[in-house]
Amino acid sequence: MNSLATELATDAPAVIINGFFPTLNLKQSLERVVSEVIGIGDTTGTVADLASLIHGYFDSKTREVKEVYFIVHNIDGPCLRKHQAALAVLASSPNVHLLASIDHIEAPLIWDSSTTTRFNWAWHDLTTFEPYTVETSYENFASDTTEIGPRGVLHVLASLTENTKSIFRILAEYQIAESVMGDAGTKMPAMAYSAYFAACRDQFLVSSELTFRSQLTEFRDHKVIQSRHAADGTESVHIPFDATTLGTILESME
Amino acid sequence: MVDAYKPMDAFDSMTESTFILKPSFTPKQSTTKKAGVSHPPAFNNEGFVPLFQGKEAEESMELRRKLFSEMWGPLEQLLVDTEEQVNQVGVSEVCNYVNCSYTRIESVEKGQLDQPFAEMATAVAFAGVNTGDHSKLFESLQAQLTAGGHHVALLESQYCTSLASMLKCMLDQILGSLDEVQRPTGNSRSGVLAGAKTIAYDMGLLKLRWDEAVGSASTCSSRVVVILQDFEGFAPMVVDDFVRIATSYCYSVPIVVVLGLATSYESIHQSLTKASISMLNVEKFNLQRSKECIDAAIRSVFIRATDMLAFGAEAYKSLLDQFLLYNFSITGFVKKLKFAAMDFFYAQPLSVLVSMLQCSAGGVLSVRDYPICLSPEQAELIRMQKSVQRFLEQQLEETGDRDHFRLALSNDEYLQKTVLPQLLRRLVSFRAGYCLGIDFVVTLQDMVPESLRKPIRTLHYYGVGQKFDDCMHWKALSAVVRRMKVPDMEQLLAKLSAVADIAAIVDWDFATKDGLDIPQLLQQSRALLSNPGVLIKPGNADSGEPSKRIRTRTDMENRPFLLFDNSSSDQMLSALDQCCANIETILRACLSPYQSAPLYEVFYYKHSLLLDTTFSAQPRAAVQAALGKTSYYIDCDCCKATTCDSDDSDATSEDAADQRVMSSMHDTSIAYRLHQECGRMINLYDWHSAFSSVVEGESVKARGSSPCQRAIQARFMRAVEEMRLLGFIKSTQRKTDHVIRLTWGM
């Protein structure tokens, strides 16, 4: 598909969007299109506004750029699924030519009647048996910066003191015990702040609440633990992993 | 083994997701650059390429392109005009309602009890489920209302997600419309309003501007019309708030609301509160005329025969199914039609023959006098058509002219100058005869009970898809004709004669099968009815009692009027009988199958599979076929199963081959076939064991060495990740070493 952009579609600007990219921001992509292709700088607005702007530009008779080609790989990609209406508005302009690919078997479900009419798809089955090397290469990409993997936790713990590791171990063991005894499938068991502090103090891991709180802040900064506030104001903390992963982490720590 | 990851091409990046390519070549440079590039200039000539493996002449290709644009432009305009014409009725009704709304309030204003609230005039327009066609419909409504002097705002739900955005959209349009009205008076405030960014968009502003615009005029015929194009798409709270606000202003500003519904009135009850609905003065209108639209479109495209675009049975069924089974969308129908026309001119080398046809002012197709210049490949292709061979053999039988036959097969010039015009004349006459046959059926249907009437799209489907004697509908119509009494028969014959006179067919020899002269036959039938004595055979006495005329069961089935008609004589009944037979003969002759016409293989479009696959998305079927029945895509020898039992039929041996998992198959295909044997939760370790046993077990036999475990594990992981990408499985947090299977069947 990229060869269509580079070799055949040489009479007009071509925009290639990799829908499989895990941190694709369509808003930024459209802002780039507006500033580099159309030439309007400093645009603001939602994705829908930008799409309407581009559509309006290519409908006007006094435009400099006559046509544009959009090549969207994996229009059913995770970051593009909620922007189909905006893409449909783009595609409905007769001077915007859209070529897209899908891989998910249930991809047509992302379009409703009005978006399907606007897109006006003509389908082609281009099954090649090429491996999905590029699309699957983003598997370990940290797309969501609020999460940390088990490996990250081990890495963080390896650089901490024994006391800190023990504090972590107390919470992990409590969580494992709770999930074994409690129902499966409920929310992750969390330990109440006061109970956690009491347990750590009993084992002489912390001397005062201030040090305990600073320790928890350090964990929170490394995204090792998360805290919740209940409706009555009590705070509870938990590690965002399930029991099995926690068990693996504890074993690897020793 | 690839040690380092190498990008596939320049647009494969770990950091960038969007790339913009500017056209780097000027037109002059591009031609010189392209000279060195081996790919064909596909975008020249709008995608037309030379056929016959590139041997087609440039003029021929250019002719095909020209013919397509000449044919499609007027046809598209015709379809648009037809749609507008059909919708005009409903649109006019709504416009009349808007014109007449609030007049009663104005006239009863003085000296009558004032109601504590004013009901807002509301038109509920059922526009149908074909939401793709609604934009054209409501734009034409907007245009007509604006032309009538009203101020219209057309709102779509995607731009009106909140009350503020809805009011902004509405006021932008209405204030703009008011400004245009006021611009001749030089109102300078319009510029300020357009540029100001701190306008409070609320109804007070509308009231202010409306009072300015209308001024002190006591009566004003223009209204503020707010059209909610897709009512079901609006959030209920937003619409409810809007209705409440608008009703409080509708006494000072005559607001009329038009609600475009796709489903039914229930959706209004579901969205609006009882209090809001009670403030609406609702009138219902039906704008859903997609079936009339499609009938009009089919009549103008296929039955009028001003163009040679014709569809065979399967392709026509595919067109109709798209309309009837999906969402009654005219846009979808036109899209498929255009694609078929494009495919005809892009891919059929003999589409150049369309240039030999011309349409006269009377809407009749005829063959041009000057012949077309055919290349040897084109001439050979014409000779190879079965219908042409059959035509030439028939001519040989009838005339015995062996020289003509020999020249037609050997001499290209003779073929294009003499034989080709004959073929095309026959085809054109056949089309004209068919159109006349459908017109006859429509005329006949006017005289039958309502339950037996079928729309023209169904009649055309029977006409192209079924033989006359096999079609139940034609038989039912014939039975009704046989039950007709004398006055009805006379009326029917008069109507059919009138239709035949209007149809300007010159060559009755070719218009129908066996060269039947239809006007003459109709005249004979009419004469027979007025003077039945002609038919009487000497020696046949009057049988007396009517009931004794029915002697056999065939009489009862075929001539039931004998039972009911006591007043007519034997002669009259025989005359009626003869007329019925004549009408049946006429219909059978006109509605003969299109396979009897010469060159039908060229002019009757038949690629229904292409139409279906292009417009009905089946990605799941395609992927499952690729993984489960790989032989459809890759016909390789290594994956062909050797069947032990030679008595098996081909179908079962193919199924057996598909179900066997072989190590030579694609990795993802192996993983897919193995996962089909699992339940809802798939244990990844078991899956991996099965995968490695398939891969290494057979390869040991084949090559004597197995790939190493790490390679197999890597291949398995890649296959599982691809299955996840395709949507067959997903990971689960409940069991970490399991995945959930998402698809079943096949």
Chain B residues 599-628 with a CB less than 8 Å from chain A:
613-617, 619-620, 622-624, 626
Q: Does B8 touch chain A (CB under 8 A)?
A: yes
The predicted-structure confidence for B164-184, as pLDDT tens digits, reads as follows: 889 988 998 988 888 877 665
Backbone angles phi, psi at B677, to 5 degrees: -85, -5
What sign for the dihedral angle of Cα B52, B57, B61, B66?
negative
Higher pLDDT, B676 or B538: B676
pLDDT range class, residue B538, cuts 50, 70, 90: very low
- What token pair was written down for B379? 């001439």
**Residue among B20, B334, B666 with most chain A CBs within 10 A, to mutate:** B20
Contact (CB<8Å) B626/A127:
yes
The predicted-structure confidence for A186-201, as pLDDT tens digits, reads as follows: 566 788 888 888 888 8
CB A9 within 8 A of CB A61: no
Q: Does B172 touch chain A (CB under 8 A)?
A: no
Each residue of B266-301: b (16+ CB within 10 Å) or e? ebbeebbeeebeebbbeeebebbbbebbbbbbbbbb
H or E stretch at A96: strand A96-100
Contact (CB<8Å) A120/B743:
no
- Asked if the model's pLDDT at residue B16 lies above 90, the reply is no
Contact (CB<8Å) A105/B11:
no
Higher pLDDT, B697 or A21: A21
Question: DSSP labels for B480-500?
Answer: HHHT--HHHHHHHHHHHHHHH
| pLDDT in the model for residue B420 | 86
Distance CA(B177)–CA(B180), nearest Å, equals 5
What type of residue sits at position A204?
F
How large is the average pLDDT for residues B197-225?
A: 77
Spell out which residues of chain A touch residue B9, defining contact as CB-CB under 8 Å.
Answer: 2
Q: How far is CA B381 from the centre of its chain?
A: 30
Q: Which residue of B has its CA nearest to A126?
A: B622
A85 vs B11, B158, B733: nearest CB: B158
- Asked if the model's pLDDT at residue B116 lies above 70, the reply is no
Instruction: Give pairs for B218-224: CB < 8 Å, separation 24+.
Output: B219/B106, B220/B254, B221/B99, B221/B149, B222/B148, B222/B149, B222/B150, B222/B151, B223/B98, B223/B101, B223/B102, B223/B150, B223/B151, B223/B254, B223/B255, B223/B256, B224/B150, B224/B151, B224/B153, B224/B174, B224/B253, B224/B254, B224/B255, B224/B256
Q: Which residue of B has its CA nearest to A85?
A: B158
CB B427 within 8 A of CB B388: no
Contact (CB<8Å) A2/B620:
no
Distance CA(B417)–CA(B411), nearest Å, equals 10
The predicted-structure confidence for B48-92, as pLDDT tens digits, reads as follows: 777 777 777 788 888 888 888 888 888 889 888 888 888 898 999
Distance CA(B546)–CA(B540), nearest Å, equals 15
Least confident of A149-158, A218-227, B143-152, B375-384: A149-158
Q: Which residue of A has its CA nearest to B614?
A: A123
| pLDDT in the model for residue B198 | 60
Backbone angles phi, psi at B26, to 5 degrees: -80, 160
Q: Does B717 touch chain A (CB under 8 A)?
A: no
- Asked if the model's pLDDT at residue B32 lies above 50, the reply is no
Distance CA(B549)–CA(B551), nearest Å, equals 6
Give, in order, the Cα–Cα distances in Å from B107 to each of B101, B102, B110, B112, B283: 12, 9, 7, 10, 20
Give, in order, the Cα–Cα distances in Å from B322 to each of B176, B277, B605: 41, 37, 16
A105 vs B9, B30, B623: nearest CB: B623
B20 vs A2, A32, A137: nearest CB: A32
Spell out which residues of chain B touch residue A6, defining contact as CB-CB under 8 Å.
Answer: 21
Give, in order, the Cα–Cα distances in Å from B64 to each of A111, B57, B61, B355, B359: 36, 11, 5, 9, 18
How large is the average pLDDT for residues B270-277?
A: 90
What sign for the dihedral angle of Cα B545, B549, B553, B559?
negative
- Which ranges of chain A have pLDDT less than 50? 142-144
The predicted-structure confidence for B182-201, as pLDDT tens digits, reads as follows: 665 544 444 344 444 566 78
Q: Does A28 touch chain B (CB under 8 A)?
A: yes
Contact (CB<8Å) A113/B339:
no
CB B486 within 8 A of CB B568: yes
- The interface predicted TM-score of the complex, written ipTM, equals 0.77
Contact (CB<8Å) A14/B132:
no
User: Which residues have a Cβ under 8 Å from the Cβ of A241 and sit 6 or more positions away?
Assistant: A150, A153, A249
pLDDT range class, residue B27, cuts 50, 70, 90: very low
Distance CA(B230)–CA(B128), nearest Å, equals 11
Higher pLDDT, A62 or B556: A62
What is the average pLDDT score of chain B?
Answer: 79
- Asked if the model's pLDDT at residue B33 lies above 50, the reply is no
Higher pLDDT, B690 or B559: B690
User: Which residues have a Cβ under 8 Å from the Cβ of B714 and sit 6 or more positions away?
Assistant: none
Spell out which residues of chain A touch residue B623, defining contact as CB-CB under 8 Å.
Answer: 105, 127
- B66: burial class by Cβ within 10 Å (0-12, 13-18, 19+)? middle
What is the SS3 assignment for A1? Answer: coil
Residue pairs spanning A and B at CB distance below 8 A: 138
Q: Does A18 touch chain B (CB under 8 A)?
A: yes
- Asked if the model's pLDDT at residue B38 lies above 60, the reply is no
Distance CA(B490)–CA(A23), nearest Å, equals 78
Q: Which residue blocks in chain A are alpha helix, DSSP H?
A: 2-3, 26-33, 47-59, 84-91, 113-119, 133-136, 150-158, 162-181, 193-202, 209-221, 243-253
Contact (CB<8Å) A10/B9:
no
- Asked if the model's pLDDT at residue B95 lies above 60, the reply is yes
Q: Does A187 touch chain B (CB under 8 A)?
A: no
Distance CA(A206)–CA(A203), nearest Å, equals 8
Distance CA(A135)–CA(A74), nearest Å, equals 9
